């Protein structure tokens, strides 16, 4: 009965997918390309707003009531990140997988490792009393739905990889960068989380790991991570995601660096914002 029920859901989802593609007049490959190009365009818009116009995304230390009501950060992070995990899992469970499933499964596995941590672990470790605006959480939710489908559908449905890709230098280098960035990101989050003892409030200067060299070590780790993902996938959707990530959190690292310099007179003057010794 469970197998029959699963097949029924799968058939309904694939029928719905065919109807959507017929409605928009595109094949799935054409739709995914359009979504990826849209993400690249949004990267320019985001970079313009955050870096050129100096807009601060209203979450964390930059939460501002002018952007509307705020909500608990743990709830916000859990809800907004969930689609990036749930949508690819749903596609894997209830849609037909391409012949390149071995490679696609490995690449998607890395994506899911990141978002499992971001959805089911990271929100519940947050110690800061900062809140997120509902508006920010809604934008993040929409993006995670969009990107979760884009990355999942591409890796599961597009027959673009042969098994020999597993030994291709681009795959090996990209995978190494991905997991290096993931570890940097996790370690940096741990450093930030443990700056305060239970019951403490306020901000302190982060020390240790890449924080000895840059103010945005957590952001650098995530940029390295998704750059590696893009290289390992060698795909337009992977590239678009990496570019948007850098366009979004790169300027935030610069904003954090400026904030630290203004707040702490003894902030290390040799520490850079994002790239050790350079930027």
DSSP annotation string for the chain: -HHHHHHHHHHHHHHHHHHHHHHHT--HHHHHHHHHHHHHHHHHHHHIIIIIS-PPPSBGGG--GGG--EE-HHHHHHHHHHHHHHHHHHHHHHSPPPTTHHHHHHHHHHHHHHHHIIIIIGGGG------EEHHHHHHHHHHHHHHHHHHHHHHHH-----GGGGGSHHHHHHHHHHHHHHHHHHHHHHHHHTSSPTT--S-----SGGGGTBTTHHHHHHHHHHHHHHHHHTSHHHHHHHHHHHHHHHHHHHHHHHHHHHH-TTS-TT-BSSSTTT-
pLDDT at position 22 = 59
91-100, 102-111, 116-125, 215-224, range with the lowest pLDDT: 91-100
pLDDT in tens, 238-267: 999 999 999 999 999 999 999 999 999 899
pLDDT at position 120 = 96
pLDDT in tens, 117-159: 999 999 998 876 677 888 888 999 999 999 999 999 999 888 6
pLDDT in tens, 4-62: 555 566 566 556 655 565 556 668 888 999 999 999 999 999 989 888 877 777 766 77
């Amino acid at each position: 009965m469970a197998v029959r029920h699963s097949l029924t859901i799968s058939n309904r989802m694939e029928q719905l997918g065919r109807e959507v593609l017929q409605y928009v007049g595109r094949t799935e490959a054409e739709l995914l390309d359009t979504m990826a190009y849209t993400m690249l365009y949004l990267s320019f818009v985001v970079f313009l707003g955050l870096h050129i116009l100096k807009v601060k995304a209203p979450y964390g230390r930059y939460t501002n009531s002018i952007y509307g009501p705020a909500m608990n950060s743990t709830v916000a992070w859990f809800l907004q990140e969930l689609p990036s995990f749930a949508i690819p899992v749903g596609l894997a469970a209830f849609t037909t997988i391409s012949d390149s499933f071995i490679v696609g499964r490995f690449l998607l596995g890395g994506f899911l490792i990141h978002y499992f941590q971001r959805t089911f672990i990271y929100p519940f470790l947050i110690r800061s009393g900062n809140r997120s605006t509902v508006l920010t959480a809604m934008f993040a939710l929409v993006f995670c739905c969009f990107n979760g489908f884009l990355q999942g559908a591409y890796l599961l449905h597009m027959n673009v990889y042969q098994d020999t890709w597993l030994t291709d230098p681009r795959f090996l280098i990209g995978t190494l960068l991905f997991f290096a960035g993931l570890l940097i990101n996790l370690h940096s989050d741990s450093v930030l989380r443990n700056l305060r003892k239970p019951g403490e409030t306020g901000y302190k200067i982060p020390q240790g790991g890449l924080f000895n060299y840059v103010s945005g070590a957590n952001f650098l780790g995530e940029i390295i991570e998704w750059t590696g993902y893009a290289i390992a996938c060698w795909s337009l959707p992977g590239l678009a995601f990496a570019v948007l990530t850098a366009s979004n959190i790169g300027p935030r690292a610069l904003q954090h660096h400026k904030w630290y310099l203004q707040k702490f007179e003894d902030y290390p003057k040799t520490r850079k914002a994002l790239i050790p010794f350079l930027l």
